[in-house]
Amino acid sequence: MTRWTGKDLPDLNGRTVVITGAGRGLGLITARELARAGAHVVLGVRDAGKARRAVAGLPGAFDIRSLDVADLTSVRAFADSWRGDLDILINNAGVMDIPGTRTADGLDLQTTTNYTGPFVLTNLLLERVTDRVVHVTSQLHRQGKIDVADLDWRTREYNGMSAYQASKLAVVLFSLELQRRLTAAGSPVRSVLASPGIARTSLAAHSRSNVINRFTFLTNDAERGALSVLYAATQDVPGNSYVGPDGLGGLRGHPALRRQGEIGLDQDMAARLWDATTELVGKVAPLAPVTAERVDWQNSITVLKDRRQ
């Protein structure tokens, strides 16, 4: 069996890619490899100086832009400043098993970083996207439980790992519903999922679950973990594919088409989640001053909804 690696990337000259949270970890490796293959890579990051230092000296074309995916004002500003086409959007930024904290918009930080912020970013940029949106999820989506009435952990007791699992399931359901809407609208754009398996990065450094990183025979190094993202971003895979490592349990190995958990294929749940998320984000919006800019944003978030027949 041939095992896909970064050497198999196609020529990406002329392609523009946005990757969020690309100043370190899997995002940085993905950015490096895509740029090496010729893509113009835009890193959407919280710390531009750190990202600039991270890509200094690497071959290829990089553009560093400020983006905090957990801050909807920052997300809007990033999307508003975008000009021209965007071939590939990679929603990579993420946090895992962090304490319950509220964002500037009053939303749950972990849920917003992993799911709600990328949901808004994707909707705002969607009309610019020509090829695909890649959502970085996790095998832990299989343990996820979503309460559409309390997406944002207001009434339930918050638990860091449960919130992570739920956010990664939300990402899987987001991809499902996004693909359904794209297909219904006759769009050629694809929504694709990537799971790195378990890759040794600093994601879980503070978490009890980090203990698994000691068992290196069970896990991918960061370079191999990033291959799933690279494969999902560049290979000719069907819409709503789930790309993950080919080894036991989808935890390590080289990228292959795998199957998301049954729970991630629940179309009814995906539609309800989309509506609940739109409603949640709509509640945040009135906190910001009413400007023409915001009206545009609200219109664009429902753009696919309006096209649905």
Active site amino acids:
164
Q: What tokens does 187 get?
A: 């769009």
CB 166 within 8 A of CB 173: no
Token readout for 280 is: 């949640």
DSSP 236-260: ---TT-EEEESSGGGSSSSEEEE--
* Per-residue binding letters, 221-240, with ligand NAP (x by CB under 6 A): ----x---------------
Shortest distance, position 228 Cβ to ligand NAP, whole Å: 9
Q: Quick one: which of 6, 196, 239, 253 contacts ligand NAP (CB under 6 A)?
A: 196
Number of residues that bind ligand NAP (CB under 6 A): 29
Give the residue with the Cβ less far from ligand NAP, 136 or 170: 136
- Which ranges of the chain would DSSP assign to H, the alpha helix? 25-36, 48-55, 72-80, 109-111, 117-125, 160-184, 222-234, 267-284, 292-301, 303-307
Q: State which of positions 83-122 bind ligand NAP (CB under 6 A).
A: 92-96, 113
Minimum gap (Å) between residue 246 Cβ and ligand NAP: 16
Query: For residue 108, what is the DSSP state?
Result: B
Only segment of 7-15, 25-33, 52-60, 82-90 that touches ligand NAP (CB under 6 A)? 25-33
Cβ nearer to ligand NAP, comparing 212 with 257: 212
Nearer to ligand NAP by Cβ, of 196 and 264: the residue is 196
Does 24 sit near ligand NAP (CB under 6 A)?
yes
Nearest alpha-carbon partner for 163 in 94, 92, 98: 98
